[in-house]
Amino acid sequence: FARPRHSRHNARMAKAEVSQSFIDTAGDRADSNLDLLVEMTRDFASSLDIEKTLARALDRVIEYLDAAGGALFLLENEGKSLRCCAAVGATDIAGIVMNADDGIVGRCVRNNSGEIVRNVADDPDFYGGVDAETGFTTRSILCAPMRVQDQRIGAIELVNKRGGDGLFADADLQFLQALSSAAALAILNARMAEALVEQERVRRELELAAEIQRSLLPSPRAETFPVHGVNVPAREVSGDFYDFFTLD
């Protein structure tokens, strides 16, 4: 039998309301993501202690994405190892060092690709050493690499989604990748600033050494003086000295 016209109309209206509600929710989530990213990027740009700022950002993103924990890994030892420089959550693994190729985080850095692993038991690359050491049980992983152009820096890894169905979603990965890009740029800028400070320190020390060396050389005498000498360093400081003494 034919469905009454008003029933079909009500069904279409209900479907439209659900669709609009979904669009509104997605829009609100996107706006919230953007606001948080802008705020954390501003923190990166103004921070004088990048490691503390990264730890604070990690804490906020874990809370925002409702994960049980997370860690930020940096490449060290000429890219041969990954060190956890910040960790938030049920276990504190800060300071732990692993081979750069180990685990899902190592694969993420190596392939420069974000990953969602919804069941680590099914992933042959899952590194269970941390769980064995801490007693924590990892079920799912969300990981995004930190990289600036061709320069690999590390990765951010979150574990065990707590809300909803307990699984990380594609939207979670997109947000974490955006944060990882901002964090990578902040780390690179901090390293460049540190290198400039070190260069300035070395320059000032060399200037001081040159001044001390000049003070140890005899002062210029009149043109009629029978002895003359000159010291011209190849760069700032040389290893040569000379002096002369008037005999009785």
Encoded tokens for 15: 């479907």
CA-to-CA distance for 177 and 159, rounded, in angstroms?
15
Q: Is residue 196 scored above 70 in pLDDT?
A: yes
The per-residue pLDDT for 48 is 59
Asked which of 10-14, 39-43, 102-106, 127-131 is least confident by mean pLDDT, the reply is 10-14
Its pTM stands at 0.65
CA-to-CA distance for 1 and 7, rounded, in angstroms?
13
Q: The tokens 């997109």 sit on which residue?
A: 174
Mean pLDDT of 134-139: 85
Mean pLDDT of 106-112: 91
190 CB-near residues (< 8 Å, 6+ apart): 47, 50
The average confidence (pLDDT) of the chain is 80
- Tens-digit pLDDT profile for residues 28-74: 555 566 666 667 666 666 665 667 777 788 888 888 888 999 898 99
CA-to-CA distance for 229 and 166, rounded, in angstroms?
81
Q: Is residue 206 scored above 50 in pLDDT?
A: yes
pLDDT above 90 covers a percentage of the chain that reads: 13
- Tens-digit pLDDT profile for residues 139-172: 899 999 988 888 888 999 999 988 778 889 998 9
DSSP state of 146: E
